[in-house]
Structure 1
Amino acid sequence: MNNEYLGHVIWSQVDANMHLRHSAYADFGAQARIVLPNELGLDFSVFQKLQMGPILFREELTYQREVGINDNIRILSFLTKAKPDGSRWSIRHDLYRGDGVKAAVINVDGAWLDLRHRKLTGLPPEVAAKFMEVAKSEDFEQIGS
């Protein structure tokens, strides 16, 4: 599976210092997470039909280097923790500038929300099996049961 997302920094994403603004890093991470299931044949319409969506409990960004306007970015995404049924998960995004320098690390913890009942829920078994095919980090940890 390809766990890569490519993006380009545009004018509206920079701050007064002419580098990628803090919240734009999170926006790129969110887009990378939406693209991730697509690569597995789980485009967003699957979740719309199930009336389910991802929800975050925690999002942590560690900034390492500046990213400038018109720079290209590359994000590699990895599942770092997950329940076997995919109902709870953690994902790490490593964000690189166009020159290959790591600029940020984004860590998120999340789950799936039943949009009808506004409650946490698990994925149907066939969807969970697909979701669990997301590329795993070297230190991947299976949590719970």
Structure 2
Amino acid sequence: MNVFYEGQVLWSQIDANQHMRHSAYADFGAQARLTMMESLGLDLKALLKYNIGPVLFREELFYTREVGINERIKVSCELIKSRVDGSRWTMRHEIFRSDGVKAATIIVEGAWIDLEKRKLAALPAELMEHFMNSPQGHDYMEEQAKPKN
């Protein structure tokens, strides 16, 4: 398992039913994703040098077990689909409780955006090499880049 976040669930992340609120799962997934990218050399400083940032098109969460206050969790992150050029990608996060039980799976689909033009962009070659070193899931699939019209 490729763990990129470990931490404690805080009071502010609990809902009225006394378990972790839905948006906290997404927040933990985002933190794991950013930590994973930073470990590859894709930190915010490197991305901002090229005025590029990640953008999400879809985020889907599957809840399987409750997580309570003060529970310690681990969050994994792995690439499960990518275009050959890395321009679009899909990542999977799994959230595990301290007892080893999987509490949730998060699937995100994203791409890269030019922060000035506000249009989708490809990563520069040097950053693309880093991105393609992302941990890959056992079910990883590579897609061909779509031709430009």
TM-score range, shorter chain: over 0.9
Change in 2 beyond 3 A, CA 1:73/1:131: same
Is this contact kept in 2: 1:3–1:135, CA < 8 A?
no
Residue number in structure 1 paired with 2:31:
31
Corresponding letter in the other structure for 1:36 = M
CA offset at residue 3 of structure 1? 4.5
For 1:100 and 1:9, how far apart are their aligned partners in 2? 15
Structure 2: give runs of 5+ residues left out of the alignment: none
> What residue in structure 2 maps to residue 65 of structure 1?
65
Deviation, structure 1 residue 49: 1.6
Q: Calculate the TM-score normalised by the size of structure 2.
A: 0.93
Q: CA deviation at 1:41?
A: 2.0
Is the 1:3–1:134 contact (alpha carbons within 8 Å) kept by the matching residues of 2? no
Structure 1 residue 57 displacement after superposition? 0.7
Tell me the equivalent position of 2:74.
74
Find out whether 1:54 has 2:43 as its counterpart: no
- CA positional deviation for 1:124: 0.3
Output the amino acid matched with 1:109: E
Instruction: Give the number of equivalent residue pairs.
Output: 144
Q: Which blocks of at least 5 consecutive residues in structure 1 are unaligned?
A: none
Per the normalisation by structure 1, the TM-score is 0.96
Query: How many Å separate the matches in 2 of 1:15 and 1:118?
Result: 35
Report the counterpart of residue 45 of structure 1 in structure 2: 45
Give the SS at the match of 2:26. helix
- Residues 21-48 of structure 1: CA distance to partner in whole angstroms, max 9, x if unpaired? 0110001111111111111122211112
User: Where do residues 113-132 of structure 1 align in structure 2 (5 Å cutoff)?
Assistant: 113-132=113-132
Residue-by-residue CA offset, 1:86-134 (whole Å, 9 max, x unaligned) = 1100000011011110000000000000000000000001100110100
C-alpha RMSD over aligned residues? 1.0
**Which amino acid in structure 2 is aligned with residue 67 of structure 1?**
V
Structure 1 runs of 4+ off > 6 angstroms?
none
Aligned-pair identity in percent equals: 53
SS in structure 1 opposite 2:77? strand
Report the Cα distance in structure 2 between the residues aligned to 1:12 and 1:45, rounded to whole angstroms. 29
